[in-house]
Amino acid sequence: MVQLHVVVVCSVVGFLGLVLVILGVASEAATALALVGLSKDGLYDVNKCVYQTTPALACGIVAGLLALAVQIAVTTTSLLCGCCRTWELPRAARHIVGIVLSVVSWIFVIIVVALFIAGAAMNTDQKRQPTTDGKCPVDPGSVLFAAATVFSLVATVSQIASYVLLAPAKGSTKPLATQQQPEVAMGQPRQDADEVVAGGDPLPPSAPPLSQPTEPTSKV
């Protein structure tokens, strides 16, 4: 049976992953508003492409920070709920796969953050050289936002899978190696304090009880 905290965390991560996709699509669409036109630069009379700040700047920064925050939250929750618990032998394989997926999600999140920030930096007020054919790119950073959106989906799936695998199963908190309690052999008599002879060693368990000498009866 799936535990409640697993359902809640996976639902929240999935929702935030959808928000990342929306921000990525919005950022990519906003890049088309960046191009203003051509200008002449100083005495050299060199045509340059002029770009203005677009909403992609804010969307890219927010998306990058959100992706990083979600990754940190999922990793912390996994450590508190599952990764630091002692594991049992049947769960060892799941534990290893969960750690691998967590590392993979971190790699993709770092790539996503870098792409979002780079795309946002390209959507600020600036001037650039035109391409070799004399044209200006209409949508600077659009490819970066598209790649970040796709990688964010992969990171979200990896986050959910790693948390599910690292989450402890209900009632699975036994350590890997438990200390064996010494067992008392069946049929072994237990020595009590009253069986110890004062000033001497305890009687062996197999020794027969001492018999009291009987006085001979005299015949009348």
- Domain residue spans of the chain: 4-33+54-126+140-166
pLDDT in tens, the chain (220 residues): 457 878 888 889 999 999 999 999 999 999 988 888 877 665 555 678 888 899 999 999 999 999 999 999 988 887 776 544 444 545 677 788 888 999 999 999 999 999 999 999 989 888 888 877 778 888 888 899 999 999 999 999 999 998 888 876 555 444 444 444 445 445 555 555 555 454 555 555 555 555 555 555 555 4
pLDDT at site 132 = 79
Q: What is the pTM of this model?
A: 0.69
Residue identified by tokens 């809640």 is 8
Listed in sequence order, the residues at least 6 apart from 139 whose beta carbon sits closer than 8 Å to its beta carbon are 28, 31, 32, 34, 35
Q: Do residues 130 and 48 make contact, with C-beta atoms less than 8 angstroms apart?
A: yes
pLDDT value, residue 84: 47
Q: What is the pLDDT of residue 140?
A: 86
What does the alpha-carbon distance between residue 195 and residue 178 come to, in Å, rounded to a whole number?
34
